[in-house]
Amino acid sequence: MRRKSAGPVGTARQDGPGTPEPGGAPESAHGDWLTLGKDGRLSLYVPADGGLVRWTETVAGGPGWSGPHVVPAPGLTHLTVVQGADTYVHFLGRRERERADGALGVDVVHAIQYQTGLAFTEWRSLGNPHRDREQGRRLGPPVGAVAADGTVHVFVRNAHGGLALRRESPNGKWRAWEDLQGGETDALPAPLALAGGRLEVCAASASGVLVWRQTAPGGDFTGPRGFALRPLPGTVTALETGPDRATFFWTDADSAGAAAWREGDWPVALGGSPAGQGYASLRTAVDGYDCVVLAHRERDGSVTLGMGGTENEAGGFWWYPLGESCQGVPALARDGHGRVVLALIGSDGAPKVARQDDGAGLSFTRWHTLGR
């Protein structure tokens, strides 16, 4: 992989209401914060004080972007972005706000963007699995996945350290909160919607790894089943690497390097020196080979890209420093022309993107900084 010099500042414009501060984002959102719409255009979403900020490609494949467009959402303490096979983009937030009696209330909120670059729905409260207000304030950040039938599943660590679930029914109505049990669970479990319709969830815990598996599409969850493994909390990432089969990537707590694990096998060490955060992951073809691409933030703040054969981790995994610093976790997606795009939040809070060029392997064009 070769690297090219950083690109010039982009020409994106301010075109939204001015409630949140675009520069107020401390780091990236969680989840799929770089998404591909049905029309082939990418969108990029960044948390901001009082809401979030969106940039959108002007045409499929770029290189121009419109934005920033700001979306007010007061009180958000955490933002997760997930996308379904129908390309709808779902936004999950943990919200804190003062109630009428002056006490602090916490709930989970949800909004949807149905079409690229267009308006969001209103933010809808999904409530809190705890009726006790003090327990409710200890609620973790929501993460989510969208099943193959389009139903949204929201997972959150509850005040007891277990996993709570709220999900849609096929008719679009939200079911009540469900207690999936577990204990001392990581605040950021990794749910995965498999193409066959089921969901799986993997989370680090004080005792090792916990895995929940859906029995059938739309069915109940079994587990958690525990495994004596040692992922670093906050680093578990999930990717479908075979038919109805998940591979989980994380940072090993003992070696401090990246690792890949599938249920029924031992973890495979991938090397690298990631910081204690998650990974961006993507399965794509590179020079005709089925590959997994990972991106993470190094301990020194720089971004590194990794690549290896899908479910062939023992055959070698290669890491390439990209010479850029970032905040939070990078994002990976394919653009409307099928090229890999890497996005990050720079040290100054501005998002940057680099796009796969036409050469062999996985080399990238210059970095393009989106306007603020």
Tens digit of each residue's pLDDT (9 = 90 or more) over 259-274: 999 999 999 999 988 8
The DSSP-derived string for 134-147 is HHHTT----EEEE-
The DSSP-derived string for 86-121 is T--EEEEEEEEEE-TTS-EEEEEEEEEE-STTSPBP
Domain annotation covers residue 9:
no
Domain annotation covers residue 11:
no
Residue 129 domain boundaries: 22-369
Domain annotation covers residue 79:
yes
Q: What is the DSSP secondary structure assignment for residue 50, as one 8-state letter?
A: T
CATH number of residue 158's parent domain: 2.120.10.70
User: Which tokens belong to 16?
Assistant: 């939204």
Domain annotation covers residue 6:
no
CA distances from 335 to 43, 142, 239, 310, 339 (A): 10, 27, 19, 21, 5
The DSSP-derived string for 211-263 is EEEESSTT--EEEEEEE---BPTT--EEEEEETTEEEEEEEBTTT-SEEEE-T
Domain annotation covers residue 15:
no
How many domains does the structure of the chain reveal? 1
Per-residue pLDDT of the chain (372 residues; tens, 9 = 90+): 333 322 222 222 233 333 344 333 347 999 999 999 999 999 999 999 999 999 999 999 989 999 999 999 999 999 999 999 999 999 999 999 988 787 889 999 999 999 999 999 999 999 999 999 899 899 999 999 999 999 999 999 999 999 999 999 999 899 999 999 999 999 999 999 999 999 999 999 998 999 999 999 999 999 899 999 999 999 999 999 999 999 999 999 999 999 999 999 999 999 988 888 999 999 999 999 999 999 999 999 999 999 999 999 999 999 999 989 999 999 999 999 999 999 999 988 999 999 999 888 899 999 999 976
Beta strand 30-31 pairing with 199-205:
unpaired
Domain annotation covers residue 194:
yes
Which helix (DSSP H) or strand (DSSP E) does residue 149 occupy? none
Domain annotation covers residue 344:
yes
Domain annotation covers residue 4:
no
Tens digit of each residue's pLDDT (9 = 90 or more) over 309-348: 999 999 999 999 998 999 999 999 999 999 999 999 998 8
User: Which tokens belong to 315?
Assistant: 């055959």
Question: What one-letter code names the amino acid at 298?
Answer: E
225 exposure class (CB count in 10 Å sphere: 0-12, 13-18, 19+) = exposed
